[in-house]
Amino acid sequence: MDRILIEGLEFDAVIGVYDWEKRIHQRLTLDLELGWDIRAAAAGDDLTQTLDYAAISERITTFATKHHFELVETFAERIAALLKEDFGIDSVRLTLRKPGAVANAQSVGVRIERGEWSGR
């Protein structure tokens, strides 16, 4: 299985368990690894045969502005489900980070895998 990468995607979202967090936007960072067979796209140099990075990035950013979650875990699960449903992606690895959430840490977050990965 080939892997398409989108790394360091930044967007603002309302996320957090504290009342003050529910009133502000916070910056999140997302790294994606998407399982996709790129051979048809490469053979024909054809964007329609692969995953459109810009469309995926825009869809995630739009989703983030329209939904509010308390936990990064919930947000990560929803993004994985969204990618599988909207783009037909079978395998998703993602790392979602919330910078500045803990005073002495650069960021906190989660890394999840959903779907089957062949050729690990």
Is 84 catalytic? The answer is no
Angle at 56 between CA 52 and CA 61, to 5 degrees: 150
Q: Over the Cα atoms of the chain, what is R_g? A: 15
- Active-site residue, selected from the candidate residues 22, 66, 84, 98: 98
Q: What is the largest CA-CA distance in the chain?
A: 52
Sign, Cα dihedral of 43, 4, 1, 36? negative
Active site residues: 98
